[in-house]
Structure 1
Amino acid sequence: MIPVLAFYLFAALTVAAGAFTILSRNPVHSVLWLIVAFFNAAGLMVLAGAEFIAMLLVIVYVGAVAVLFLFVVMMLDIDFAELRAGFIRNFPLGMLLAVVLLVELLFGIGAVKAGGLAIGKADGSNAAIAGASNIESIGALLYTKYVFLFEAAGIILLVAMIGAIVLTHRERGGVRGQNIAKQVARRPEDATVNTQPEVGKGVSL
């Protein structure tokens, strides 16, 4: 009984948070409602026995993606009047794209039901380890069969991070760069100076 009540609670909160994410006029409130939706979706994954996906939702989506959205929205100088005007101006194009996506979705569902597509079936080679949790099974699969692909994905992310750092620290006109060696070698007596200025004389820099 308790799992059923928990399922309906998490499901209702997820749907409600998703609706408020779309309907909120303030972008910051929309991101906060999105975080609530992610947390409740993680609860649904725990009830379904997929605790690894639940951790991904909390760590990756809430801890990184949603927080990044929140910081970007809060740091940008958004003109809400201009934003609403652009929404009204592009509303017909958005509705056209929505109709096209709906038609494609219905076409794909119809093609699957008609039997025109060969859907792959599990052969049991990647079955979960008996007596092990989902996380242990996923870890054993990633670090055995897919270890090279997993390492390749890590290298790609590392290269992307290094590229972002290089682009940030490139030479730009009017931007003073840091001299890390000079900062590290600085002595405490060079950092602070004790002065006793006379009344009304101020401080000379």
Structure 2
Amino acid sequence: MIQAIAFYIFATLTIASAVFVIMARNPVHSVLWLILAFFNAAGLMVLTGAEFIAMLLVIVYVGAVAVLFLFVVMMLDIDFAELRAGFIRNFPLGILVALVLLAEIIFGIFAKNAGALKLGTPDGTAATPAGAPNIEAIGAVLYGKYLFLFEAAGVILLVAMIGAIVLTHRQRSDVRGQKISKQIARRPEEATVNVKPEVGKGVQL
């Protein structure tokens, strides 16, 4: 009984948050509603026993993606009048995209009712061990059978990150670089100069 009540609460909050993401006029409020939707979706995953997916929703989507969206939206100088003008101009294209998505959803429903695809008979090698939680089972598979593929994916992501930094890094010619060794080797008599300005002559810069 408590599981059914929790399911309806999480599902209702998730749907309501998703609606407010679209309906909110302020982009910052939209991102905050999106974070609330992610949290409630994580609650639904916990109810179904998928703890690993719930953890991914909180850590990856809420902790990284949604916070990144929030910072980007807050730093942007958004002109709402220009946004409204762009909405009216691109309204026909938006209707076309919506119709295409609706057609895909209807096609998917008919395809589902026609019968599922037969992908083969499982051999039981990927079954979760008895008494082991989902997180332990996924960890055993990732760091056991797919260890080298997992490490290769991490190396590829690292190379992509370094490449993005190298491609976007630009040295400014109008800003002098800091030379630590020259600053350390500088002597006190070279750093300060005693000047005795005459009365009414001002200060020489």
In structure 2, distance between residues paired with 1:144 and 1:38: 30
**CA separation of 1:79/1:11 partners in 2, compared to 1, >3 Å: closer, same or farther?**
same
The aligned counterpart of 1:141 is 141
Following superposition, the deviation at residue 169 of structure 1 comes to 3.1
When residues 121 and 80 of structure 1 are mapped into structure 2, their CA distance, relative to the original with a 3 A threshold, is farther
1:120 is aligned to: 119
Label 1:104 to 1:27 Cα distance change in 2 as closer, same or farther (>3 A).
same
TM-score w.r.t. the length of structure 2 is 0.82
TM-score computed with the length of structure 1 as normaliser: 0.82
CA deviations over 1:66-109 (Å, ceiling 9, x no partner):
00000110001110110011112111111111111221232233
Structure 1 counterpart of 2:180:
182
Q: Distance in 2 between matches of 1:177 and 1:143?
A: 48
Deviations 1:5-60 (A, max 9, x none): 11111111111111101100000000000000001111111111111111100100
In the other structure, the counterpart of 2:68 is 68
| Identical counterparts, % of pairs | 70
Listed as ranges, the gaps of 5+ residues in structure 1 are 194-202
Alignment partners' CA distance in 1, 2:59 and 2:153: 18
Greater mean alpha carbon deviation, residues 120-129 or residues 145-154:
120-129
Unaligned runs of 5+ in 2: 193-202
1:80 matched to 2:98? The reply is no
Larger Rg belongs to: 2
Which range moves more in the overlay, 161-170 or 126-135? 161-170
